[in-house]
Amino acid sequence: MRTLQPVRGTRDILPAEMRRHRAVAETARRVAAQYGYEQMATPVFEFTEVFKRTLGEHSDVVMKEMYTFPVSEEGDTVTLRPEGTAGFARAYIANGMQQNLPVKAFYTGPMFRHERPQKGRLRQFHQVGVELLGPSRPLADVEIIAMGQQVLAELGLSESITLELNTLGDLESRKAYRAALVEYFAGFKDKLSADSRHRLDRNPLRILDSKDEGDQAVVADAPTFGDYLNQHSQDFFGQVCEGLDALGIGYRLNSRLVRGLDYYSHTCFEFTTTALGAQGTVLAGGRYDDLIETMGGPATPGTGWAAGIERLSMLMDRDTTPTRPVAVVPAGGDAEMAALRITQDLRGRGFTVDMGYSGNMKKRLKRANNAGACAAVILGGDELAQSVATVRNLDTGEQETVALDQLPGYLARYQPG
């Protein structure tokens, strides 16, 4: 075997970290449900076209980051999903979901991008996300931003996170801005990175998002979008801001904020933190009114966001602890079968129960303590003859004799409902 390490950029998620992942995913799912969003899932891989057409042929994701495999002699390929929206849009069209607008969906699962692994940047990572199809009004954007904010607040993260907000305007505004950017950047061609020189012909907006220092110096004096927004785009953005103000949600306008993918229009936003170094964006999204039509579906406005579970779970300082088990401890071989039956009966009633398989009583009690058990149900021969057990509180050491048929009622003090 070449190596027992996981493939570069992928990770094993051990139980303590998995608990944090679950807390993120569960919190997001619960909050989304409060807004009427129902969970759905699409496949982890799709025909490559699904991503190529929607994310933009020239986006970083499509050009460098996709894991693509051949699946037929004819040259069809499939790609591991780098993000959730394209597959969701495909599913919306394929399942005729336009019959039931608005569609409000929540999803969670692994995503795959072939990028340089570093803190907060993996090749297999996980996201939670929401999509809202149907509403074209700015209030819909306000709602999904408010939902993102609530998820972060319920994870205890609102203090350390800022909301950055921008608009990419409608198509007309983007065309005008694009032309202005091409003209401006053309004057600095020799100062731009090779990547950004490519972007110049293809998608100059993306130069604004470049992480290259040389690019950033040029970007600093680039024309700003605000000057190229038509009236409709200005009104739309104004209403998003008004809605956020009405809800008391603070934000920072950032005219340099663009999203890495082609399908966005109007509202775009990112919740960022300074606590994770360069990988500071934890939740990001925006409006994508042209996406469904681009894919060949019925024109349907949409808006949504996705959040990186690994980045959020790194920010959470509190660990969520698992339920402390009740330990059933048979004293002596004769008691083992009875202990097995009692253990299984308690689990059937909803208790979390551990039974040590071997060792003397002292050893088993020690193991119960190590497992974080809250109480031990000790079963000895004498006790069984009288149909009772000794229940010891493992925090205080106090113990009581309890009739076996009273056991579930008695243990409820340790693991209520």
d(CA 106, CA 286): 15
d(CA 329, CA 416): 21
CA neighbor of 261 nearest in space, from 64, 47, 122, 56: 56
CB of 58 to ligand ATP, least distance (A): 15
**Using an 8 Å Cβ cutoff, are 128 and 307 in contact?**
yes
Those residues with Cβ within 8 angstroms of residue 265's Cβ, 6 or more apart along the chain or in another chain: 168, 169, 170, 171, 174, 286, 287, 288, 289, 290
Assess 127 for contact with ligand ATP (CB under 6 A).
yes
Assess 122 for contact with ligand ATP (CB under 6 A).
yes
Q: Which stretch binds ligand ATP (CB under 6 A): 165-173, 242-250, 300-308, 337-345?
A: 300-308
- Cα 47 to the chain's mean position, in Å? 23
| Among positions 23, 161, 249, 306, the unique one binding ligand ATP when judged by CB under 6 A | 306
Nearer to ligand ATP, 120 or 302 (CB): 120
Assess 215 for contact with ligand ATP (CB under 6 A).
no
CB of 154 to ligand ATP, least distance (A): 17
Largest Cα–Cα separation, the chain: 93
Nearer to ligand ATP, 306 or 339 (CB): 306
CB of 392 to ligand ATP, least distance (A): 46
Phi then psi dihedrals of residue 384, to 5 deg = -60, -35
Those residues with Cβ within 8 angstroms of residue 257's Cβ, 6 or more apart along the chain or in another chain: 164, 165, 166, 268, 269, 270
**Using an 8 Å Cβ cutoff, are 292 and 298 in contact?**
yes
CB of 306 to ligand ATP, least distance (A): 4
Give the Å distances, CA to CA, from 85 to 60, 82, 105, 191, 294: 16, 9, 10, 35, 13
CB of 193 to ligand ATP, least distance (A): 16
Assess 125 for contact with ligand ATP (CB under 6 A).
yes
CB of 316 to ligand ATP, least distance (A): 14
Assess 304 for contact with ligand ATP (CB under 6 A).
no
65 annotated binding-site participant? no
**Using an 8 Å Cβ cutoff, are 278 and 297 in contact?**
no
List binders of ligand ATP among 307-336 (CB under 6 A): 307-308, 310-311
Nearer to ligand ATP, 18 or 246 (CB): 18
CB of 287 to ligand ATP, least distance (A): 14
Please say whether the dihedral angle defined by the alpha carbons of residues 75, 81, 83 and 88, taken in this order, is positive or negative.
Answer: positive
What is the size of the binding site for ligand ATP (CB under 6 A)?
A: 18
CB of 126 to ligand ATP, least distance (A): 8
Q: H helices within 275-403, ranges in order?
A: 291-294, 309-315, 335-348, 361-370, 381-385
d(CA 304, CA 129): 7
Assess 97 for contact with ligand ATP (CB under 6 A).
no
Binding mask 266-295 for ligand ATP (x = CB under 6 A): -------------x-xx-x-----------
127 annotated binding-site participant? yes
Q: What is the DSSP string of 32-86?
A: HHHTT-EE----SEEEHHHHHHHH-TTSHIIIII--EEE-STT--EEEE-SSSHH
| Among positions 20, 52, 81, 121, the unique one binding ligand ATP when judged by CB under 6 A | 121
List binders of ligand ATP among 227-266 (CB under 6 A): 260
**Using an 8 Å Cβ cutoff, are 86 and 94 in contact?**
no
Nearer to ligand ATP, 60 or 354 (CB): 60
| Among positions 20, 53, 113, 206, the unique one binding ligand ATP when judged by CB under 6 A | 113
Residue nearest to ligand ATP (CB): 308
Helices and strands counted in the chain (H then E): 15, 16
CA neighbor of 302 nearest in space, from 55, 144, 134, 97: 134
CB of 207 to ligand ATP, least distance (A): 14
Assess 193 for contact with ligand ATP (CB under 6 A).
no
Binding mask 59-88 for ligand ATP (x = CB under 6 A): ------------------------x-----
* Footprint on this chain of ligand ATP (rule: CB under 6 A): 83, 113, 115, 120-122, 125, 127, 260, 279, 281-282, 284, 306-308, 310-311
Known binding-site residue numbers:
83-85, 113, 127, 131, 259, 263-264
